[in-house]
Structure 1
């Protein structure tokens, strides 16, 4: 009560914060006359002036008012758009590293130019993150006109770009890209073996467009780069055939978590069926020998029972493509992990791609937290303000609209079943269509879109369906959704980022109708004609009531509902919104309170009759809050577990960068050898034990395997009576003498390259295996909750131990490879030297005596190319491992040296 009184008297904290920014807006306005008086050349010269001021010690905040005034004037001259004062407020919020919540149609794209220009002046790069490739290209081209005119460079990152193209785009002052491209480039960069191959610069400042979609909705699953493992297609198909015969009474399905569990009868049934198919070892499903079969059975159950075609995925070009549950868009290239995608492929009878092993992964939360300054903008963020602050330390600021909102938000209409609801929706759409009022319909799945489309066909209403099947045309369809009589069905707000303008969009109509006309008076006249038509049609739409937004059911998140509503009533336009609900909607069926169902089912609601009440709306909002809290916990858990891996990821990636930047890694190699020797001696000769308790034979065998040096340890102990530290010292000395002799026989540049290549390649190999182990650990660690232990604490403890163990294995592995390998430099005849750099004309035996590029990234393979393996025992000309292969003597040697076969291993023949 008192809180509302104070809020009424003094305004909310958000109102007071915006009022404080208005003082800066007044400072910006004070520069307007001065900036307007500048010629084009003088206005363009402001960029160089600001950069000089920054070099002289001024801060971005110092030059912000004048810089913003400069952008406002430049935008008017180049784009014909002048920033409103509320857009200036948004620009300040973005510059300060906060989230600007601005209603749809308030010009967020233009707002971003203020903070982008100001922060790009430092030359450290600014990233603008968009939700899809179309928006990245569109905004880079559209706003790039302004940046280019002001002397800044603009880059855009889209799929399938070349490495040089990406490097150039990242080197630009302002770079537009999707969150996926940025994240994958970061992971790929940290799999490369030379600094020059990396495409990204150090992180500086990012503005995330549709920040709620990217940092909330898409943050539930991490980005993963994977490599294929062995093919298990037959097992997936066989288990899928078994699951397709199961009956409903043999399993329990939890729609909230999308989990399926067999009942006791179901387990017995599965054992009998799997035994018939020859898939069961023994007669107990849960014997350790059947672990793999149980895993495949679980995934096949989930695929067949919980994952619905045209809702969770579609089949396109004989491939299973995931549908983003929030945007309704296809997620090309994304696959469910842990064998689930393969199970769905088996269910649909399409080609089963091999399972993948994680090579690198990161969550969006940890990726974006690496930016020293992060900002965002969206139409809906207030409902998730707590999560933005908890996870990203981002404050949400609600920016006032430029003109008062005229949209009318009507109460929800509630029906008994889906059929009644869709009949009512089709009838309402027909009524609006008859008076010319445009309608935008929001559905939650492709299935519901197509069902409603059939109802509209029966009503004779012409309409456009926008969902994942027609992803390519979504921007075009949405742009024209405000025309007279237009009816657009959109899945989960596909087409976000494209403004719905009443009367139609001039740019899209020009592309459709005037694309074949050449520049000139005739085209100019046609453009003027289109403008007049659009203006006239806009007035007719306004008279009809503006855009009518119709929701076919409530979404799990209130924010998604608000996004849908927000498409209507832009820039003071009239508008209308209404949601239609029924008892069979997923939200109410799964999460609604039982009392709600009981009261509704026992009421005297007739077929086709609708009711609406505040009590119903409150119950629905309660269900939404419940789901939002559950989803937040799921995302929070993803972050908690990834935070553990993130600490280890930073160590590995920092180590890789240090290795790549070093001319030589001699010191690292020496430390690794010392640590390896210390670990071997400690294992076989434990501290505090007597010499007669030592495993001398085991130590000697290990030394020969890893260090390949003669070590008469028995005589050292018997004759000299040395202790563990002296054993370590003698082994270290013998190893160093051997390594020095090997280095002296080899060109120094070759040896340095070999050391770095082996170190990076083995580091990547062990990190990949470590990630697989952590994935497995995370899968089972939740079972420890039954023992009253916190899964996250158990995960932290074991992950730390596994990381230490991985580093020990890495040290031993690298030491063994370099100690046991031998590098031979052939001397080819002068007239037939291979056309390669000198350091590539040697031989190396990095692992097993053969050329080994397995498991290496493209960068690693390129670096190791030509450092071919001299098979063990092939020390001279008399031993040719390729003698029986009938090779052409002028062909390149199969060892990978780069020399012709006759001048390499073929010399023996």
Structure 2
């Protein structure tokens, strides 16, 4: 009670913070008259003036009022748009590294130009991160006019760009692109052999558009670059034979999870059989050295015991083809990950295809935390404010609307079943349609869209159905969803880049209707006609009540519901929103069919009858909060595990950068050689032991294997006062002599390049193997919970030990290669005309715990990302009955989903014509 009273008197903390920015906004406004008198050239010269001020010691905060005022004036001249005061507040919030929550239609894209311009003046680069390629290209072109006018350079990162094009785009003052492109470029850069091959500059400042979608929704799965591993066919076959001979009493099965666990007796029995087959490095199955064997054993058990031929897969043309458990269709080109598909191939005796191995990976959380300054903007962030702060240390600031919101948000209506609900929805849409009020309907899946489309056909309501991800086409259709009598059904409709303007979007109408018309008086007349028609229609729509947003189901996240609602009531327009629910909705099933809630609904509702109350709406919100908390825990778990790898990743990537930047690495190589020799001697001659206890035979073997030397160790052992240190020194001297002889016949610059290339190649090789081991460890470490141990703590401990072991192996390997390889001088190759590109690796979002690929293969029903918040795919737009169009001219051909689409678009098949295959 006291909190509410204090808030009513003094305002919330957010209100007070926003009010504190009023003085700064007043200073910006005070400069407007002065800048209006500037000529275009004088306004353009402001950028050079600001740079001089920064060089003189002023800070970005010092020049903020003048810079923001300059952007506002330039926007008026170039774009014909003037920043509102609340947009200035949003720009300040972005510049300060916070999240600006601004309602749909408040002009977030224009707000970003303020902070983008100010921070780009330094010349260190600003990244504007969008949710899809269409928005990146659109914003770069649209807002780029403003930045170019002020003398800044613009770059845009989209798929299928060459390395040089990417390098030039990142060298620009402002670079637009998607989160995926930025993340994958970072990983690819850290796989290159020379600094000049890298495309990105050091991180400086990033503004993330639709920050909730990118940093929350898409942060569940890491970015992964993978490539084929070495052939492990023999291991798969050997494990398959062992598992097939294993009696059922040695394991327990879980049909629901499709998992198999060895019993205690099973572990002992399998250990015996693996030792007999020579597959274990130690006698204990669960020693860290056997992690990969345990992982592949687990997959072999699943393949043999749980996955059934002709049910889960079929064998066709000597290949194991997965069968979709829901549709029963063959899924050509799809493969189970983490070695499961290879285990199934070994089971069926067909050719075993190489497993794809992780070569580099990073979560969005750890990628974006590398920016010294990070900010974001969205229409819906407040519900996830705690997560933004916990993970990214980002504060969410709610920016007030320019004009008070007039939209009416009605209580939810509840029905007994789906058919009753959709019949009521169709009646409500028909009623609004007859009055001319435009309706936007948000559904959660393609199936629900088609079901509603059938109901509307019966009611005789003309409508458009959007189920696609062809963003540009969708943008044109959605832009006209506010016209008189328009009915638009969209899957997962969210605030993504295009406003719904009452009466229709004039700019889009001009593009659609006059796109082919030549400039001239005739076109000008047509433009004026369209503007007049739109103004009259806008008033008619306002009189009809504005845009009616109708939700057919509640989403797991309140943010998605708020995004849908936010499409109505922009800039003070009238509007209405209402959600329709029933007991068969996914979210309501959380309550369970036997709960008091369900019994009350069934007992008190007649068929077709609706009920609505604030208590029920509150209950739904509580359920959503629980689901949001569960999803947060899942994302938090991903971060916890990746944080362990992230510390190691930083060490490796920093080491790689130092090596690439160094003219010579002989000091690093020498230190590695000393450490390797020290480890070899310490292993054979433990500290504190006597010479007669030393393993001289083992020392001879290791010295020959690693150093390629054959010293007379027996003679050394007969000397008085022999010490391990003396043996180390003599081995070091011999090794240095051998290297001096090898390098004597080769020019010094060439020898330096040899050392550097060997060091980088071996580092990359062992890092890749280390990632594979960590992948396998993560898959099995949860079993430690049965021993009352925390899996994450066990993972941290084991990962640290593995990393130390990898570094030891790396030192030894670099030493071995340099000392045992034969080098000869050769004619230098001709200088390359261009920098070599990396080979084409597979990229994707792989769930680190289930191994499932979440790279937007499915339709909109499988993800929470909004209509404009996913990767580009194939267009599915229609009018009338609204059935989804999935015409694929290549449907009769067997095409890998990761292969380039045969249509020549340059996209992967799964993101083009195979998007709905």
Per the shorter chain, which TM-score range? Answer: 0.7 to 0.9
Counterpart position of 2:541: 541
Please name the residue that 2:759 is paired with. 759
* Unmatched segments (≥5 aa) in structure 2: 245-251, 267-285, 287-292, 313-321, 842-917
Q: CA deviation at 1:130?
A: 0.3
Other-structure match for 1:225: 225
* Shift in CA distance, 290/727, structure 1 to aligned 2, threshold 3 Å: closer
Matched-pair contact (CA < 8 Å) for 1:480–1:501 = yes
Q: Secondary structure at the match of 2:159?
A: coil
SS of alignment partner, residue 746 of structure 2: coil
Change over 3 Å in CA distance of 1:49–1:542 after alignment to 2: same
1:568-615 CA-partner distances (Å, limit 9, x unpaired): 110011111111111111111135695344433542311111111222
In the alignment, which residue of structure 2 is the partner of 1:464?
464
> Deviation string for 1:135-166 (max 9, x for gaps)?
00000000000000000001100001011111
User: Is the counterpart of residue 588 in structure 1 residue 588 in structure 2?
Assistant: yes
Q: Distance in 2 between matches of 1:527 and 1:341?
A: 59
Of residues 293, 299, 310, the one that matches 1:292 is 299
Within 1, Cα distance between the matches of 2:144 and 2:602? 61
C-alpha distance in 2 between matches for 1:263 and 1:600: 42
Show structure 1 runs of 5+ residues with no match. 243-249, 269-285, 321-334, 828-832, 841-852, 861-909
TM-score, normalization by structure 1: 0.81
Correspondence list, 1:288-327, <5 A: 291-296=298-303
Work out the CA distance in 1 between the residues paired with 2:329 and 2:171. Answer: 39
Q: How far apart, CA to CA, are the structure 1 residues paired with 2:788 and 2:217?
A: 32
Higher RCO (C-alpha under 8 Å, 6+ residues apart): 2
* Aligned counterparts of 1:344 and 1:487: Cα–Cα separation in 2: 49
Residue pair 2:304, 2:344 contacting (<8 A) in 1 also: no
Query: CA offsets, 1:781-824, max 9 Å, x none?
Result: 11212222111111111100000000011111111111111111
Check the 8 A contact 1:159/1:181 in 2, yes or no: yes
Whether the 8 Å CA contact 1:153–1:174 is kept in 2: the answer is: yes
Provide the residue aligned with 1:427 in structure 2.
427
CA contact (8 A) 1:260 1:298 kept: no
8 Å CA contact 2:381–2:559 kept in 1: the answer is: yes
Q: In the alignment, is the contact (CA less than 8 A) between 1:303 and 1:344 conserved in 2?
A: no
Question: SS state of the match for residue 587, structure 2?
Answer: helix
Distance 1:469 1:700 in 2: 65
Q: Specify the SS of the correspondent of 1:477.
A: helix
Name the structure 1 match of 2:356.
356
Q: Does the 8 Å CA contact 1:474/1:494 hold for their aligned counterparts?
A: no
CA apart distance, 1:513: 1.4
Contact 2:449 2:465 in 1 (8 A): yes
Aligned residue in 2 for 1:454? 454
Rounded to whole Å, the distance in 1 between the matches of 2:474 and 2:308 is: 34
Count of residues in correspondence between the two structures: 783
Whole-Å separation in 2 of the counterparts to 1:602 and 1:559: 29
Secondary structure at 1:100 match in 2: strand
Distance 1:11 1:291, change over 3 A: closer
Aligned pairs (5 A) from 1:826-905: 826=826, 835=830, 858=839
Q: Distance in 1 between matches of 2:211 and 2:832?
A: 48
2: CA distance, partners of 1:398 / 1:294: 52
Deviation for aligned residue 1:374: 0.5
- Between the aligned partners of 1:376 and 1:721, the Cα distance in structure 2 is 69
CA distance 1:299–1:355, change in 2 (3 Å): farther
Which SS does the other structure have where 1:390 is aligned? helix
Q: Does 1:370 align with 2:374?
A: no
Give the corresponding residue for 1:44.
Answer: 44
Whole-Å separation in 2 of the counterparts to 1:389 and 1:745: 60
Equivalence for 1:76: 76
Residues 299 and 343 in structure 1, CA contact (< 8 A), matched pair in contact too = no
Query: Residues 497 and 318 (structure 1 numbering): CA distance in 2 closer, same or farther, change over 3 Å?
Result: farther
Deviations 1:450-489 (A, max 9, x none): 2222222333322222224655632222222212222222
Partner of residue 338, structure 1: 338
2:311–2:323: 8 Å Cα contact kept in structure 1? no
Change (3 A) 1:804 1:302: farther
Secondary structure of 1:603 counterpart = helix
Deviations 1:840-880 (A, max 9, x none): 9xxxxxxxxxxxx9xx95499xxxxxxxxxxxxxxxxxxxx
* Secondary structure of the structure 1 residue equivalent to 2:603: coil
Could you tell me whether the CA contact under 8 Å between 1:547 and 1:576 is conserved in 2? yes
Q: Distance in 2 between matches of 1:301 and 1:636?
A: 35
- Cα separation, partners in 2 of 1:316 and 1:187, compared to 1, 3 Å: farther
Alignment of 1:136-151 (within 5 A): 136-151=136-151
The verdict on how the C-alpha distance between 1:662 and 1:312 changes in structure 2, with shifts beyond 3 A counting, is farther
Contact 2:648/2:803 (8 A) holds in 1? yes
Q: Separation in 1 of the partners of 2:746 and 2:352?
A: 48
1:25 match: 25
1:446 Cα deviation from its structure 2 partner: 2.1
Structure 2 residue 735 is the aligned partner of structure 1 residue 735: yes
- Contact 1:310/1:447 (<8 A) preserved: no
Give 1:503-652 correspondences, 5 Å limit.
503-590=503-590, 595-652=595-652
Judged with a 3 Å threshold, the aligned counterparts in structure 2 of structure 1 residues 310 and 263 are, in CA distance, closer, same or farther, namely: closer
Question: What's the offset of the Cα at 1:522?
Answer: 1.8
Contact 1:439 1:487 (C-alpha < 8 Å) held by counterparts: yes
Which whole-Å CA distance do the structure 2 matches of 1:154 and 1:43 have between them? 19
Alpha-carbon spacing, 1:837–1:407, altered in 2? closer, same or farther (3 Å): closer
Shift of residue 510 of structure 1?
A: 2.1
The residue correspondences of 1:676-715 to structure 2 (distance < 5 A) are 676-715=676-715
Matches within 5 A, 1:248-287: 259-260=257-258
1:120–1:173 CA contact under 8 A, matched in 2: yes
Task: Look up the match of 1:790.
Answer: 790
Structure 1 SS opposite 2:477: helix
How far, CA to CA, are the matches of 2:382 and 2:305 in structure 1? 39
Q: 1:641 to 1:178 in 2, by over 3 A?
A: same
SS at match of 1:214: helix
Q: Give 1:109 shift.
A: 0.3
> What root-mean-square deviation, in Å, do the aligned CA atoms of Structure 1 and Structure 2 show?
3.4
Larger mean CA deviation between 502-511 and 771-780 belongs to 502-511
TM-superposed CA distance for 1:538, in Å, is 1.4
Give the distance between the partners of 2:76 and 2:729, measured in 1 at CA.
75
Query: Alpha-carbon deviation of 1:342?
Result: 9.7
State how 1:95-174 maps to structure 2 within 5 Å: 95-174=95-174
Moved more, 369-378 or 608-617: 608-617
Determine helix, strand or coil for the equivalent of 1:406. Answer: coil
Q: SS in structure 2 opposite 1:104?
A: coil
In structure 2, distance between residues paired with 1:702 and 1:102: 66
CA contact (8 A) 1:440 1:547 kept: yes
Are the aligned partners of 2:260 and 2:302 in contact in 1 as well (CA < 8 Å)? Answer: no
Q: Shift of the alpha carbon at 1:441? A: 1.2
Contact 2:591–2:597 (Cα < 8 Å) also in 1 = no
Deviation at 1:836, TM superposition (A): 5.3
Task: Evaluate the alpha carbon distance shift between residue 252 and residue 464 of structure 1 in structure 2; reply closer, same or farther with a 3 A threshold.
Answer: farther
Q: Deviations over 1:597-650 (max 9, x none)?
A: 443354231111111122211211111111011111111111111111000000
**Are residues 820 and 341 of structure 1, via their aligned partners in 2, closer, same or farther at CA, if it must alter by over 3 Å?**
closer
Q: Give yes or no for contact 1:446–1:468 (8 Å, CA) kept in 2.
A: no
Shift of 1:423: 1.5
1:355-434 equivalences in 2 (<5 Å): 355-434=355-434
TM value normalised by structure 2? 0.80
Pair 1:780 & 2:787 matched:
no
What displacement does 1:48 show? 0.7
